[in-house]
Amino acid sequence: MINCPYCGSSINEIIYEIDNMPLSNMGLSINEKKAKKAKTSSFLLTMCSDCKLLFNKDFRSEIIEYKTQLNTTYYINKPWLNYTKKSADHFHELLKKYNLNKILEIGCGNGEFLNHLNRNKEFICEGYDPSLMDGFSSESFKIIKDYFIPNKNTKKYDAIIIRHVIEHLEFPTKFLEDILLNIKFLGTEKVLFFLEVPNVKNTINDLRFNDLVYEHVSYFSLTTFNNFLNRLNLKILFQTEALDDENLQAICLYENDDKIQNEIFYFKENILSSEKYLSDFFKKNSEAKICFWGAGGRGVTLINKIVSNLNYDKIQVTDSDKRKHGKYLPICGFKIIDPNKINFFQIEIIIITTNLGKKGIIEEIKKIDDALLKKVYVFSKGSLLKC
């Protein structure tokens, strides 16, 4: 028996049990005797006590075979096809908006979504599905009659469609995490996802036990589906209950965080040289009359970092906030002086301690005298820059 497919918790509660459930609701046989001898298993609808996901605790992936063509059946009724086309049109708009071109659908079925999405042959599309019939062809997308294995993929995709697949997976979180790791490994910066699963809401509210099938491991509500996406750090652009609330749809954006990591490594590698620059600057200007403008948190951090290199007799600290005047900075103990009581013409160097308040401070300095601006510096890019 399996733990929660979403969070892995082993603490759960059995909600409903079905004996002798067919392993495949798609396993239609051409022989009556074979049909009556179809393989079965027990089905245990279970609620995870931690994340509240409903799932089949008695699911065993090793006894399911999607490559068997007898398991091939697709929605062909008009309402479903119209719904699929409408969904594809919505996604098409976003692909154009983000200027995306290379599209992958995992579990493409008979390709109705990709065929409509790429009806004008605007995109490069590929579809994976192990149960595609031999001889199936499409002018809209390349067909791969197999499972999609994330860690074996070597192709970059701009968008990935996964419709009515996640609920079949014993480890859906790991599958999506493996896809995201593959995206990062290949160096793709952004990928747009279209995700769709059945909605368990009506199943529960209408007591529809007939919605339960062995192949569906997970039964998502809007809340548990949202939690699933958030856990993967996907930015949800669009989420809805669709097709009379029978399905849940989400369009999400994944952004590779390598750029952020590189920036952090840059900070780590260069921050010590920035500190040395400041130390050398104030040693060199130890006899200069210096005014630090900005006594908030940023000013406190900056001044205390270089205080050992400062000549107390040559330093003044000011702030535009009158409530700070007459008070003292922690640790270094400099008194905060009203800017109106400072003779800035005798000051040789004015250092703005905050980039956030830089523009306002510069305007105040201009009101005193534009000529003072040639003395003004702001700490940025690891050094003191002239304003």
User: What pLDDT was estimated at residue 36?
Assistant: 81
**Helix ranges restricted to H, 49-151:** 78-97, 112-117
Contact indicator for 202, 245 with CB cutoff of 8 Å = yes
User: What pLDDT was estimated at residue 258?
Assistant: 66
Given pLDDT bands bounded at 50, 70 and 90, which one contains residue 68? low
User: What pLDDT was estimated at residue 71?
Assistant: 45
Contact indicator for 285, 216 with CB cutoff of 8 Å = no
Given pLDDT bands bounded at 50, 70 and 90, which one contains residue 217? very high
Whether the predicted pLDDT of 286 surpasses 70: yes
The angle subtended at Cα 220 by Cα 215 and Cα 226, nearest 5°, is 140
Distance CA 335, CA 316 (A): 8
Mean pLDDT over all residues of the chain?
91
- Residue 274 backbone phi and psi in degrees, to 5: -70, -40
Whether the predicted pLDDT of 69 surpasses 50: no
Whether the predicted pLDDT of 104 surpasses 90: yes
Whether the predicted pLDDT of 367 surpasses 90: yes
The angle subtended at Cα 24 by Cα 21 and Cα 29, nearest 5°, is 110
Average pLDDT over residues 88-92: 96
Given pLDDT bands bounded at 50, 70 and 90, which one contains residue 1? confident
Whether the predicted pLDDT of 214 surpasses 70: yes
The model's pLDDT over 246-267, given as tens digits with 9 standing for 90+, comes to 999 999 999 876 666 777 878 8
User: What pLDDT was estimated at residue 59?
Assistant: 92
- Please give the structure tokens belonging to residue 178: 């493996």
User: What pLDDT was estimated at residue 62?
Assistant: 81
Whether the predicted pLDDT of 72 surpasses 80: no
Average pLDDT over residues 265-283: 91
Distance CA 32, CA 317 (A): 92
CA distances from 341 to 329, 334, 354 (A): 18, 15, 21
Residues sharing a CB contact under 8 Å with residue 51, sequence separation 6 or more, in sequence order: 4, 6, 7, 9, 224, 227
The residue count for the chain: 387
Q: What is the CA radius of gyration of the chain?
A: 32
Average pLDDT over residues 342-355: 96
Whether the predicted pLDDT of 188 surpasses 80: yes
Distance CA 176, CA 234 (A): 10
User: What pLDDT was estimated at residue 70?
Assistant: 46
* CA neighbor of 239 nearest in space, from 289, 191, 194, 274: 194
Whether the predicted pLDDT of 318 surpasses 50: yes
User: What pLDDT was estimated at residue 267?
Assistant: 87
Neighbours of 275 (CB within 10 A): 13
Residues sharing a CB contact under 8 Å with residue 90, sequence separation 6 or more, in sequence order: 238, 251
For 15-27, b/e burial (b = at least 16 CB within 10 A) is eeebeebbbbebb
Given pLDDT bands bounded at 50, 70 and 90, which one contains residue 169? very high
Question: Which domains can be identified in the chain, with CATH numbers?
Answer: 12-63 (no CATH), 69-256 (3.40.50.150), 270-386 (3.40.50.720)
Contact indicator for 239, 250 with CB cutoff of 8 Å = yes
Using a cut of 0.75, tell me whether the model's pTM lies above it.
no
User: What pLDDT was estimated at residue 74?
Assistant: 52
- Please give the structure tokens belonging to residue 255: 């952004």
The secondary element (H helix, E strand) that includes residue 223 is: helix 222-231
Whether the predicted pLDDT of 340 surpasses 50: yes
Average pLDDT over residues 214-220: 94
Distance CA 125, CA 117 (A): 9
Average pLDDT over residues 54-60: 94
